Amino acid sequence: MRLPATEFGLAKLVFKDIFPIVHRELDYWEERAKSIPNEELRIQATASIAHKTFHCEGGSILALIAGEDRAQVIRFIVAYQTISDYLDNLCDRSTSLDPEDFSLLHESMQHALNPTAELKNYYERREDQNDGGYLSDLVKTCQEVMQTLPYYKEIQPYLFELCGYYCDLQVHKHVIWEERVQRLQAWFEDNKHHLPGGMTWYEFSACAGSTLGIFCLVSYGARASFRDGLAKNVRNAYFPYVQGLHIMLDYFIDQEEDRVGNDLNFCFYYESEQKMIERLCFFLEQANRDIEKIPDEHFHKMVNQGLVGIYLADGKVAKQKDVKAHVHKLLKQGGFRSYFFYWNCKMYYAMRKVSK
């Protein structure tokens, strides 16, 4: 199956073929979440699906790379992203501030990428325990897909690397407030030797916080053809700038929500709003350059620039005057593709709202 060559072709496939599969998968996990015996775990699991559906929608666009096996890859992406969003809620909203608790919880994300890994009680270090097998079943679903990938061995080292960054970030950013920035800065110092110059600790943290590189690797790992060096090139194309852009946009639209919830938001550490927008535009420009180093460059650029439109179309933006003021500049930087997906998503979300 050929990848779409135009924005119209991509939009048609996404809205007619990809999103319906995503929502079927999410409906299944939502029903599972509603049946979780423990109240606190049930609240966080259902909330993560209700409020973060677009994470699965955006990530699943990359499943088009897998061709005929895209449904299996979407199954993985939805399950893996659901783990990510669920654990983020558990760490953000729970009373625990124990880094060992956060580390153990996120071992589930590492195990999800390793079909031979033995599952464990990921809740061992917290009071809330009984999820009715919810998290373990999410992990097993991911493992089942990993077992089917013809090029799993080729992508495995880079899956583990990107997952390692993600899990480290989740631990450092959820400990007690007084330690968060210090831990993140020390972590950055340990890793900055292999990062581009000019990157700050909070930008590196954003680059580590995306699952897009993992989804892209899995999508290529499912294809019938695979060439030497592709896995490394995909890793280098998506990390750091594509992933960083993705997460900075996520934080950008969540600013008011994070102020109210007293949550860590990397947009808050820029010296000014102007500097923040300049860096977001730079990340977009650099991400497009890095994408040129891998196959299907045109598709990846459409997705990358499309994500700008998808994020900025989120309903949260209209409720934040300061955020809304910068939308035009970011869309302009993204060009026609960003505008195209911005307006298409606006219409799509409005239609879904009416249909409910």
Report pLDDT digits (tens) over 255-265.
888 888 788 89
Chain centre to alpha carbon of residue 299 = 18
CB within 8 Å of 58: residues ≥ 6 apart: 246, 307, 310, 311
Q: What residues have CB less than 8 Å from 262, skipping those under 6 apart?
A: none
**Closest to 176 measured CA to CA, from 264, 259, 260:** 264
Q: How far apart are CA 85 and CA 25, in angstroms?
A: 15
Domains of the chain listed by start with CATH number: 7-355 (1.10.600)
Mean pLDDT, residues 16-24 taken together: 95
pLDDT at residue 356 tops 60: no
> Tens digits of per-residue pLDDT, 275-297?
999 999 999 999 999 999 899 99
pLDDT at 355: 65
Largest CA distance in the chain: 51
Average pLDDT of the residues of the chain: 93
At residue 352's C-alpha, the angle toward residues 346 and 356, to 5°, is 150
Predicted pLDDT of residue 21: 97
Contact 10, 306 (CB under 8 A): yes
Higher pLDDT, 261 or 212: 212
CA angle 6, 218, 184 (to 5 degrees): 100
- Residue 190: what pLDDT? 96
Structure tokens at 342: 């911005």
* Structural Rg of the chain based on CA atoms: 19
Per-residue model confidence (pLDDT) at position 1: 61
CA separation for the pair 269, 251 (Å, rounded): 11
Quick: pLDDT tens for 224-271.
888 889 999 999 999 999 999 999 999 999 888 888 878 889 999 999
Q: What percentage of residues in the chain have a pLDDT greater than 90?
A: 74
Residue bearing tokens 């729970």: 94
User: What whole-number distance in Å separates Cα of residue 17 and Cα of residue 90?
Assistant: 32
CB-neighbour burial class of residue 243 (10 A; exposed 0-12, middle 13-18, buried 19+): buried
> Which residue has better confidence, 13 or 319?
13
**Comparison of pLDDT for 93 and 77, the residue scoring more:** 77
Q: Are 243 and 214 in contact (CB under 8 A)?
A: no
Question: What is the pTM for the complete model shown?
Answer: 0.93
Q: Which residue has the tokens 């783990």?
A: 83
